Amino acid sequence: MTAAGPAPEKSIHLVDAINQVFALFRLNYHNQFYSAYSDTELLNQAKRLWLEALSHLTEKQILTGAKKVIETSDYLPTLNRMLQCSEASAGNDGLPSPHDAYQEACNAPSPKASYGWSHLAIYYAGLETGWYRLANEPESSSYPAYLENYRRLCREIAQGKQLISPMPPALKEELKPPLSKEESRAHLKQLKDQLALDN
């Protein structure tokens, strides 16, 4: 699969980041690491899986996530734990962490299209998950669905997708200029005449 623009360079950097992560894990979780990745083929499969799952993140986020894992866990992390730690680190084109994005989506007032989103990915992930669902279902049910949509959008943004700002609802009536004093008097006289009222 080839992509236009700077994507190949980004891919090279991400491959380097994944290799660095596994090198860090090998040093810090020596026995666990060799037990989990007993042969080169298994290790390469794991690296490919992690590369695909972490492709929406920057090299810096991935390495920061790995360092956080090492500092907070005595055990070799799962891919899910690595995702959580990497997404929690700042600086991915202004994208907030998934849970912060979820909270913003849940708390944003209506109309959603005119709200000042901190990033448009939050709006589109909320739209795909469903505003009713986000407002009415418990977090245990709505967050996993939102997370899936948000991560997919983050991957697409990392691959160059541009999100278009949603159109705010159009005003129903065009504002008319105020009437002059003479026009106001004539309009008032016309209304009085229609109602047959005395002056």
pLDDT in tens, 95-136: 788 888 999 999 999 889 888 898 898 999 999 999 999 999
- In angstroms, the CA 10 to CA 16 distance is 10
pLDDT in tens, 128-165: 999 999 999 999 999 999 988 988 888 777 667 788 88
List, in sequence order, every residue forming a beta bridge with 92; answer none if it has no partner: 95
Quote the pLDDT of residue 160. Answer: 73
- In angstroms, the CA 180 to CA 71 distance is 73
> Is pLDDT above 60 for 92?
no
Quote the pLDDT of residue 36. Answer: 92
Quote the pLDDT of residue 43. Answer: 94
What 15-19 contacts at long range (C-beta under 8 Å, 24+ apart), as own/partner pairs, is 15/51, 16/59, 17/59, 17/62, 17/63, 18/47, 18/50, 18/51, 18/54, 18/62, 19/47
> Is pLDDT above 70 for 42?
yes
In sequence order, what are the residues at sequence separation of 6 or more whose Cβ sits closer than 8 angstroms to the Cβ of residue 7?
159, 160
How far is CA 93 from each of CA 60, 112, 160, rounded to the nearest angstrom? 12, 22, 11
- In angstroms, the CA 143 to CA 68 distance is 23
Residue 120 DSSP code: H
List, in sequence order, every residue forming a beta bridge with 95; answer none if it has no partner: 92
Mean residue pLDDT of the chain comes to 83
pLDDT in tens, 159-190: 677 888 887 655 444 556 777 888 888 878 88
